[in-house]
Amino acid sequence: AQSVAQPEDQVNVAEGNPLTVKCTYSVSGNPYLFWYVQYPNRGLQFLLKYITGDNLVKGSYGFEAEFNKSQTSFHLKKPSALVSDSALYFCAVRDIDQTGANNLFFGTGTRLTVIP
Amino acid sequence: DAGVIQSPRHEVTEMGQEVTLRCKPISGHDYLFWYRQTMMRGLELLIYFNNNVPIDDSGMPEDRFSAKMPNASFSTLKIQPSEPRDSAVYFCASSTETGFASGANVLTFGAGSRLTVL
């Protein structure tokens, strides 16, 4: 079965500094990896995905993520954090089982706080 | 497009009562998903539909939970009878067919329904 792990429950970063939110995955076969963000009292919003191709994926709001096969990681990054980036971030991996059922497994989430 | 619309946004009820959560997916989206979010278990997929047909309900916790999609623009998640451990935020999400077979599709989530069972 596919799974993702987000080792940090909480990440604090000063405004203007680079930020990294970590994610590692465990899959059989080629991984389909996603990042979603959840702002307070809102549903999850798609940020970016890696399916194939370039290891560096660019997404919404200036975020990017680097797929690293040897380290089985898919860390989310941004060069300069904004206070408005404060939210809950979820890494996810797609799983398609032998019946063809299609599921998206989410990590436990990392709460990012950007300090002014 | 108004996005995925869920109602009610908040529901407080007493143990044993029936709860019905509603979802209107984005027009033209062929797939609809129900997720549950709790602090203890994170986000869990309960069930998903394709063209109004339930495809995978293996995540539905028990017989007290049921979901229907009578048409392409409406789905319900019902809990009867409700229990305190059902307290959670329930999200509905929808997706197009594009990329679904390969697993590359993107989900659009509603704002969620926060359920509190006393």
**Span A25-65, pLDDT tens digits:** 998 878 889 999 999 888 899 999 998 888 999 999 999 99
Phi, psi of A109 (to 5 degrees): 90, 145
What percent of chain A shows pLDDT beyond 90?
72
Q: How far is A75 from chain B (nearest CA, A)?
A: 19
Q: How far is B117 from chain A (nearest CA, A)?
A: 19
Cis geometry, peptide bond prior to residue B81 (ω within 30 degrees of 0) = yes
Side-chain-side CA neighbours of A94 within 13 Å: the count stands at 22
Q: Pairing between strand B88-95 and B108-109?
A: antiparallel
- pLDDT computed for residue B36 by the predictor: 96
Interchain contact, A94 vs B103, CB within 8 Å: yes
- Residue A102 pLDDT grade (very low, low, confident, very high; cuts 50, 70, 90): low
**Span B26-56, pLDDT tens digits:** 999 989 999 999 988 889 999 999 999 998 8
Taking CA atoms, B68 is separated from B11, B79, B80, B87, in Å, by 19, 12, 14, 20
Cis geometry, peptide bond prior to residue B25 (ω within 30 degrees of 0) = no
Phi, psi of A83 (to 5 degrees): -60, -35
Interchain contact, A94 vs B104, CB within 8 Å: yes
Q: Is the pLDDT of residue A99 over 80?
A: no
Q: Is the pLDDT of residue B117 over 70?
A: yes
- Residue A97 pLDDT grade (very low, low, confident, very high; cuts 50, 70, 90): low
Mean pLDDT of chain B: 92
Other beta carbons within 10 Å of A34:
30
Minimum-distance CB partner of B111 among A43, A101, A109: A43
CB proximity list for A61: less than 8 A, separation 6 or greater: A47, A78, A85
Higher-scoring residue by pLDDT: B105, B67: B67
Phi, psi of A61 (to 5 degrees): 60, 25
Rg (CA), chain B: 14
| B residues 12..71 contacting A (CB < 8 A) | 42-43, 45, 48, 55-56, 58
Using CA atoms, how far apart are residues B46 and B64, in angstroms rounded to an integer?
A: 13
Could you tell me if B67 and B77 are in contact, meaning their C-beta atoms sit under 8 angstroms apart?
Answer: yes
- Which residues lie across from A110 on neighbouring strands? A89
- Choose the weakest-confidence range: A24-33, A75-84, A97-106: A97-106
Closest residue in B to A104 (Cα) is B45
Interchain contact, A101 vs B56, CB within 8 Å: yes
Amino acid at site A26: S
Average pLDDT over residues B79-83: 96
> Which residues of A are less than 8 Å from B93 in CB distance?
43-44
- Which residues lie across from B7 on neighbouring strands? B22
**Is B89 part of the contact surface with chain A (CB cutoff 8 Å)?**
no
CB proximity list for A49: less than 8 A, separation 6 or greater: A32, A33, A34, A35, A57, A59, B104, B106
